């Protein structure tokens, strides 16, 4: 496993040009909308927002949504969309956990799509998620089922080759989340370094912060 950090800045300009990625993020966003209650009274955090492929599908359904990412290049594409669409309820923030940055604020919902496998210490991240969620707030994480390291042609910056759902559920419960469950969110195909095209499955795991705030 290559633990070197991936440079997403160089990928940002062409990130939205991949039709397979667009279909995958559409399916993930639809699953979030189906399984997490969203409303115009809620403030949302999209962790690892990239260019906002999920953010801008959720934006019309919520009061505000803040995208955070560690890639300046991705956030520049994200901000360009805010300007183009003239949106007043979408914000962006550069947050790099590897540099010691911490999540802050208060949110009703936190979502994260295909970011978790790039995070070395997920247990610490879950604690931060729990801390900034309001009592009764929802968390929704979309990521890969275990993939044996075959999903990415280059595993630079990939710290987890997908996740075992039962183990991930336990990690979220250990961080204080309740009502944790998972559903299938998307399937996508990729051709590996060996030239073989495989299908990969993506789940959405959701949970809540206890309404008493524990």
The pLDDT value recorded for residue 213 is: 65
Average pLDDT over residues 68-80: 93
The pLDDT value recorded for residue 21 is: 86
In a domain, 173, yes or no: yes
Confidence of residue 190 (pLDDT cuts 50, 70, 90): confident
| φ and ψ at residue 36, rounded to 5 degrees | -120, 125
In a domain, 180, yes or no: yes
CATH of residue 119: 3.40.50.150
- CA dist 61 and 64 (Å) reads 9
- CA dist 116 and 47 (Å) reads 9
In a domain, 65, yes or no: yes
**Distance between terminal CA atoms of the chain?**
35
Confidence of residue 172 (pLDDT cuts 50, 70, 90): very high
Name the pairing type of β-strands 177-191 and 197-209: antiparallel
Residue 148 is part of which domain span?
Answer: 9-209
In a domain, 50, yes or no: yes
- Judge contact between 92 and 75, C-beta under 8 A: yes
In a domain, 205, yes or no: yes
CB atoms within 10 A of CB 89: 15
The answer to whether residue 2 scores a pLDDT higher than 50 is no
Average pLDDT over residues 141-159: 88
- The domain total for the chain is 1
Name the pairing type of β-strands 133-144 and 107-113: parallel
Percent of the chain at pLDDT > 70 equals 91
CB atoms within 10 A of CB 139: 25
**3-state SS of the chain: helix, strand, coil percent to 5?**
35, 30, 35
In a domain, 31, yes or no: yes
């Amino acid at each position: 496993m290559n633990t070197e950090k991936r440079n997403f800045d160089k990928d940002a300009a062409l990130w939205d040009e991949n039709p397979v990625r667009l279909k995958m993020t559409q399916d993930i966003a639809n699953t979030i909308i189906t399984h997490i209650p969203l409303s115009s009274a809620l403030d949302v955090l999209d962790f690892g927002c990239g260019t906002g492929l999920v953010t801008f599908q959720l934006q019309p359904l919520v009061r505000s949504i803040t995208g955070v990412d560690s890639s300046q290049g991705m956030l520049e594409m994200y901000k360009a969309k805010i300007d183009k669409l003239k949106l007043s309820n979408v914000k962006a923030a550069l947050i790099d956990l590897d540099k010691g940055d911490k999540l802050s604020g208060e949110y009703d919902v936190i979502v994260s799509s295909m970011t978790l496998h790039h995070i070395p210490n997920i247990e610490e991240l879950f604690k931060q998620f729990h801390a900034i969620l309001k009592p009764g707030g929802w968390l929704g994480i979309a990521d890969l089922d275990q993939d044996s390291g075959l999903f990415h042609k280059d595993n630079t910056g990939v710290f987890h080759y997908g996740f075992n759902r039962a183990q991930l559920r336990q990690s979220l419960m250990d961080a204080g989340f309740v009502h944790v469950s998972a559903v299938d969110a998307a399937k996508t195909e990729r051709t590996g370094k060996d030239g073989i095209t495989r299908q990969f499955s993506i789940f959405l795991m959701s949970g809540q912060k206890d309404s008493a705030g524990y």
